[in-house]
Amino acid sequence: MRIEQDVKLTFDDVLIRPKRSTLVSRSDVNLEREFQFRHSEQNWAGVPIVAANMDTTGLFSVAEVLQRYGMLTCTQKFYSTREFSGAWEGGLDPEFIAVTCGSTEESFELLERKIATNENLKMICIDVANGYREVFLQFVKRVREAFPDKILIAGNVATREMTEALILSGADIVKVGIGPGSVCTTRKIAGVGYPQLSAIAECADAAHGLNGHVMSDGGCSSPGDVAKAFAAGADFVMLGGMLAGHDESGGDTIEGEDGKVYKSFHGMSSVKAMEHHYGEVAPHRAPEGKEVRVPYRGKLDSTVQSILGGLRSACSYVGARRIKDLPKCATFIRVSMTTNEVYQKFDVE
């Protein structure tokens, strides 16, 4: 057994300290970024906020809204090839779509068919809960060899050594986050995880040294959290719960006993998701997600505008004219203590 004593932080543990700024208005902030990638040699430009590849948020209906703002959607992996073909006919822009797959042979074959539906598709997202398995690294290598010109997103991991391993295996963008999501129960069920702010900072440092990129996945419950994720070094920020509960989101609409309207939202490792997509919870698995009700939020546009407005505000407080400049302009202030630090401060035995 080994215990790391270094302090690790999550979003609620810090605030961004304001600084003197020459910006006149929030409207002066540019939220768009242009990326070049290590392996694919592709360029991508847009606002680097991403809808999570969950069956309630990684939807074509969500993508239709986000593409108007230049934002990405990682589609849920259960769309059929026919549904993808129909989406292009409906006006979906492949520039802002990442095709999601798992790491099985069946997933690979379905990925090939989906990519074939539109030659302009640039991005592939290989998504698994545990990105630490050697077989996953081999799958990433296989996808890179099969699609050398595609921008490859792969994860999830939460430490620098596996970030480096995934980039060296062919990933352009590493998805960072083990257990921080609002409907993820991995930390309770398996006892495994890593505080998200520290995970972002450490993985970004590792990735950028190899000319790679990172995508923060999970833990953001407010626009301020999105700003903190970018300030910690994330190149992209993926959102699930913040995009749930809207007209365009998936999930059942429910009227609560309080008379208010809610929509259901669940993790992809929840009982509901596994029974719906696979027919059962496999005997060797324990569900690592849950189903919740989120308040009905109306049109997605209003939430997107709130997120973008909050991000512009954060940049203006620290003098960052571009979202790319936010990490070098931001200073974090710790506002909470670990349990051990509380004990030490108040001399509790």
What is each CA distance from 131 to 57, 138, 161, 242, 294, in whole angstroms?
22, 11, 12, 24, 29
Distance CA 17, CA 10 (A): 16
- Angle CA 263–268–274, to nearest 5: 100
Catalytic residue status for 220: no
Distance CA 268, CA 281 (A): 12
**Catalytic residue selected from 184, 203, 220, 315:** 184
Distance CA 79, CA 12 (A): 35
CA 248 remoteness from chain centre: 19
Rg of the Cα atoms in the chain: 20
Distance CA 235, CA 343 (A): 36
CA 190 remoteness from chain centre: 21
How many Cβ atoms sit within 10 Å of the Cβ of residue 239? Answer: 27
Distance CA 195, CA 215 (A): 15
Q: Which two tokens stand for residue 218?
A: 């999970």
Distance CA 104, CA 225 (A): 33
**Any idea which residue has 């997202």 for tokens?**
125
> Which residues are tagged catalytic?
184
